[in-house]
Amino acid sequence: MSDASFVRTEMLSEQDPPPTSVGVIGWLRANLFSNWWNAILTVLCLAAIWYVLSGLLGWTLRSVWNAGSLNECRDVMIANWGSTHGHACWGVINDRWLQLLFGFYPPELYYRPILAMLLLFAALAPVLFADKVPPKLLYVTAAYPFLMPWLMWGGSIWTPIGVAAGFVVAYLVGRKLGGTASGLVLGILSAVVWWMLWFGLPGQAETFDSGVGRVLVAGLGENLASISPDTAPFWLETVESRKFGGFMLSVLIGVVAIGCSLPLGILLALGRQSNMLIVKAICVGFIEFIRGVPLITLLFVASTLLNIFLPPGTNFDIILRVMIMVTLFAAAYMAEVIRGGLAGLPTGQYEGADSLGLNYWQAQRLIIMPQALKISIPGIVSTFIGIFKDTTLVSIIALLDPLGLSNSIRADTDWNGIYWELFAFIALMFFIACFGMSRYSMYLERKLKTEND
Amino acid sequence: MAESMHDTMVEREIDRRKMQVSEEVAIQITGMNKWFGMFHVLRDIDLTVHKGERIVICGPSGSGKSTLIRCINRLEEHQTGQIVVEGTELTSDLKNIDKIRSEVGMCFQHFNLFPHLTILENCTLAPIWVRKIPKREAEETAMHFLEKVKIPEQAEKYPGQLSGGQQQRVAIARSLCMRPRIMLFDEPTSALDPEMIKEVLDTMIELAEEGMTMLCVTHEMGFARQVANRVIFMDDGQIVEQNEPEEFFKNPKSDRTKLFLSQILGH
Ligand SMILES: Nc1ncnc2c1ncn2[C@@H]1O[C@H](COP(=O)(O)OP(=O)(O)OP(=O)(O)O)[C@@H](O)[C@H]1O
Ligand SMILES: [Mg+2]
């Protein structure tokens, strides 16, 4: 009989694995103590973790909550533990948390940013969890970009309505001309004309003393001269931009930049791929320029340089300027992330869409973008997170975001010299928001993955 | 005796296939040339396709077969000459191009299904957005054609969950949902395993029998024999020979055709 042949005469029955390879002990053995070298590393790591945590937890937990100033804090620490070293003074957060959240927004109007925040969740829900919430909520999403500024800055309801109506005009004109490039341009032009009619020409009107909006209000039976906070319908008390601050400001700038940079980035990415030479050149130039310049520079341009170019007397809101700059900055990065996604698509997808007679925008919207965006989710969310954190840079141009506020809190003699507690609190708030975004992107990736294959 | 009986059978078959062909012209290509950069891919192509005609295009790799049929729905742009499809000339006018594309269905070697949409959504997408048909109606049409290609039970799945042969049949159904007047096939079976080729060819044969105008790039000579009115042989970007299938395979005239046929039929 040759060695190569073998016949099993008896079948083996199933047996339990050895106890050292299953359960907790098995897991520990396999992952932490598989050999001497690993065992030593494990012990060293545990020691290091313990060293860091014991210091950190001691500082965090053995701390003072009720104190009106740093000196008071120190007195309590001396009384309790005999030293001021290694104890946090959370009194500052206790004392100033409202300010860290809202800046100098008038406290009696806090309900407005809170309402705006709640509406933000309602507006985001149909976008983020399309399969779990009623699609009717999309109306909230559509109205949100116009409601939010009104809630935050206040003023007449006719302002957001006028702005929104401009978009409707653009849409109607664009649709009449059949979604072509000329339709797009004419749509935008007609919206601009509309806004000029509604709000008056730039420079001519501060808010409300010319244009169709005025006539409309007059038509509603109001004396033009007497439009004032008490008589205009749905008038919200105005809050000036310099009162904005704290986490509210970061969220405001972050949400606007995130919300606007995605569509803008998509357009830039498509423009970069376009056959139209001028469009392509503009998009490439824009992307490369913005990416080659630090955000701080753009913010300085927004805060100081822009005044030189604008006609004197125009009151171009500083927060609006910053929002535009941050949005442009984010859009340039977004465009490159999305371009990566587009490059990952096989040409067959374009040909499949073309061969069915879908036009360019239909193909992009229904076939190309859903797939390209799905590929780019990790990059897109990274950009979102980066931009949200970059909003703290506005403290350099004297806007009171949480970091800017921490400086002004320190400038108060009560809290002169307090650093880590403020930074820890700010870090925690940013961490919660960014971690949330990161988890959502993982959820989305998982969901789309199981859906498609 | 057997010889002449075979001949009369062939003649009858040719007559039958001619019956389905009308005088109406579906595609008219005159003096068409195309270059890729400096490379002259298509040279002086003249081709008239009548309504209901089934044409098989074959030829060695790189001879320009794909390019030719991709010019018919403007996936490739020709530089000189004229292509008229269903009475509409292909120019750079986007409206005309989209119109022609919605009248001309196309199936690709690699299916090109949309992986993020279900089979049903793949089939209803274009009818809903291009033809503006209500969703309900589009879904009914889609189910009708999915039944026709014998995979209605896969409607809710995603393309990635189907076999190659099933995917190609979905691709055919997706094109048919647009109710095209002409169907183009670019090597629809060459990415498939042998056992799947048959199911796709059966679908195409059925389609041919219903009188669809078809242009098909394929090396499946059995298919050509069974359904084609005409076989076109291309080489070096030119139409070298065309004839009725029986005659084409039995008495090729040109040396290039003979060489090509001996290569593909040789094994
Ligand atoms: N986009 C392109 N740019 C440049 N050259 C191309 C392009 N597409 C095809 N070609 C060239 O044109 C020639 C004809 O290509 P085509 O795909 O039409 O050949 P084919 O007959 O379909 O070949 P096959 O049987 O391999 O599919 C080939 O030499 C090919 O290299
Ligand atoms: Mg080919």
Residue pair A388/A433 in contact (Cβ under 8 Å)? The answer is: yes
- Considering its fold, how many domains does chain A have in total? 3
CA trace torsion B180, B183, B186, B188 (10° rounding): 90
CA trace torsion B243, B249, B250, B251 (10° rounding): 50
- Tens of pLDDT along chain A (453 residues) come to 567 788 888 888 888 877 777 778 778 877 788 888 888 998 999 999 999 999 888 888 888 888 888 888 889 989 988 888 888 899 899 889 999 999 999 999 999 999 999 999 999 988 888 888 888 888 889 999 999 999 998 887 877 888 888 889 888 888 887 666 777 788 888 888 888 887 765 544 444 444 555 555 555 544 444 455 445 567 788 888 888 999 999 999 999 999 999 999 999 999 999 988 999 999 999 999 999 999 999 998 888 877 777 777 666 788 888 999 999 999 999 999 999 999 999 999 999 999 999 988 899 999 999 999 999 999 999 999 999 999 999 998 888 889 999 988 998 888 888 888 999 999 999 999 999 999 999 998 888 886 665
Kindly state whether B122 is in contact with chain A, defined as any CB-CB distance less than 8 angstroms. no
Length of chain A: 453
Kindly state whether B125 is in contact with chain A, defined as any CB-CB distance less than 8 angstroms. yes
Chain B residues touching A371 at Cβ < 8 A? 114-116
Helices H / strands E in chain A, number of each: 19, 0
Give dist(CA B174, CA B178) in Å, integer.
Answer: 7
Give dist(CA B47, CA B39) in Å, integer.
Answer: 21
Note whether A174 and A255 are same-domain residues.
no
* Residue A274 Cα distances to A271, A280, A304, A353, B225, angstroms: 5, 6, 35, 17, 44
Beta strands in B108-229, from DSSP E residues, in sequence order: 182-186, 213-217
CB contact under 8 A, B113 and A356: no
Pocket test of ligand 1: the residue of B45, B57, B67, B76 to mutate, having most ligand atoms within 8 Å of its CB, is B67
Give dist(CA A298, CA A315) in Å, integer.
Answer: 19
Give the number of C-alpha atoms closer than 13 A to the C-alpha of residue A155, restricted to the C-beta side: 18
Other Cβ atoms within 10 Å of A346 Cβ, number: 12
Chain B residues touching A452 at Cβ < 8 A? 115-116, 158, 160
Query: Could you tell me which of B184, B187, B153 has the C-alpha nearest to residue B170?
Result: B153
Residue in this structure with the two tokens 């390209």, named with its chain if needed: A372
Q: Which residue in the set A352, A357, A448 is minimally distant from B112, CB to CB?
A: A352
Task: Tell me the one-letter amino acid at B49.
Answer: V
Query: Domain ends where: A202, A235, A268?
Result: A235
Query: Could you tell me which of B207, B195, B219, B136 has the C-alpha nearest to residue B171?
Result: B207
Q: Phi/psi of residue B104, each to 5°?
A: -115, 115
CB contact under 8 A, A358 and B126: yes
Give dist(CA A320, CA A394) in Å, integer.
Answer: 12
CB contact under 8 A, B130 and A354: no
Note whether A166 and A299 are same-domain residues.
no
Q: Phi/psi of residue A450, each to 5°?
A: -65, -30
Give dist(CA B223, CA B262) in Å, integer.
Answer: 18
Residue pair B58/B231 in contact (Cβ under 8 Å)? The answer is: yes
* Residue A113 Cα distances to A144, A236, A431, B108, angstroms: 13, 13, 21, 55
What does the pLDDT read at residue B37? 92
- Is A426 a domain residue? yes
Q: Which residue in the set A351, A353, A370 is minimally distant from B116, CB to CB?
A: A370
B232-264 burial, b at 16+ Cβ within 10 Å, e below that, comes to: bbbbebbbbbbbbbbebbeebeeebbeebbeee
In angstroms, what is the span from residue B186 Cα to ligand 2's centroid? Answer: 6
Q: Which residue is closest to B118 within chain A, CA to CA?
A: A452
Shortest Cα–Cα distance, B240 to chain A (Å): 28
Other Cβ atoms within 10 Å of A22 Cβ, number: 12
* Residue B38 Cα distances to B16, B35, B83, B136, B193, angstroms: 44, 6, 22, 49, 37
Residue with the nearest Cα to atom 29 of ligand 1?
A: B62
* Residue A438 Cα distances to A131, A170, B128, angstroms: 20, 35, 36
- Is A222 a domain residue? yes
What does the pLDDT read at residue A346? 93
Give dist(CA A40, CA A46) in Å, integer.
Answer: 10
CATH label of the domain that carries residue A79: 1.10.3720.10
Ligand 1: atom nearest CA of B217 is 22
Note whether A83 and A29 are same-domain residues.
no
Give dist(CA B156, CA A292) in Å, integer.
Answer: 47
Note whether A204 and A327 are same-domain residues.
no
Note whether A284 and A409 are same-domain residues.
yes
Residue pair A348/B112 in contact (Cβ under 8 Å)? The answer is: yes
Note whether A212 and A271 are same-domain residues.
no
Q: Which domain holds residue A23?
A: 16-61
What does the pLDDT read at residue A307? 75
Structure-block tokens of residue A152: 């935050």
Q: Which residue is closest to A352 within chain B, CA to CA?
A: B112
Note whether A47 and A87 are same-domain residues.
no
Task: Tell me the one-letter amino acid at A281.
Answer: A
Structure-block tokens of residue A347: 């040409």
Note whether A280 and A368 are same-domain residues.
yes
What does the pLDDT read at residue A201? 56
Note whether A247 and A201 are same-domain residues.
no
Residue pair A66/A73 in contact (Cβ under 8 Å)? The answer is: no
Q: Can you spell out the DSSP letters for A46-79? A: HHHHHHHHHHHHHHHHS-B-S-SSHHHHHHHHHH
What does the pLDDT read at residue A144? 92
- Is A181 a domain residue? yes
Note whether A227 and A99 are same-domain residues.
no
- Is A379 a domain residue? yes
Query: Domain ends where: A178, A210, A235?
Result: A235
Give dist(CA A210, CA A165) in Å, integer.
Answer: 17
Q: Is the C-beta atom of B237 inside 6 A of ligand 1?
A: no
Structure-block tokens of residue A208: 């409300």
Residue pair B231/B248 in contact (Cβ under 8 Å)? The answer is: yes
What does the pLDDT read at residue A231? 52
Shortest Cα–Cα distance, B229 to chain A (Å): 25
Residue with the nearest Cα to atom 30 of ligand 1?
A: B62
Structure-block tokens of residue A72: 């008071």
Q: How would you classify the pairing of strands B88-89 and B238-243?
A: unpaired
- Is A116 a domain residue? no
Structure-block tokens of residue B72: 């018919």
- Is A350 a domain residue? yes
Query: Domain ends where: A194, A210, A235?
Result: A235
Residues with pLDDT less than 50, chain B: none
Report pLDDT digits (tens) over A152-203. Answer: 988 878 778 888 888 898 888 888 876 667 777 888 888 888 888 877 655 4
Chain B contact probe: residue of A276, A350, A355 with most B CBs at under 10 A: A355
Note whether A230 and A346 are same-domain residues.
no
- Is A110 a domain residue? no
Beta bridge partners of B40: B35
Q: Which residue is closest to B94 within chain A, CA to CA?
A: A359
Shortest Cα–Cα distance, A190 to chain B (Å): 25
Shortest Cα–Cα distance, A90 to chain B (Å): 51
Note whether A185 and A272 are same-domain residues.
no
Q: Tell me the torsion sign for CA atoms B102, B105, B110, B115.
A: positive
- Is A438 a domain residue? yes
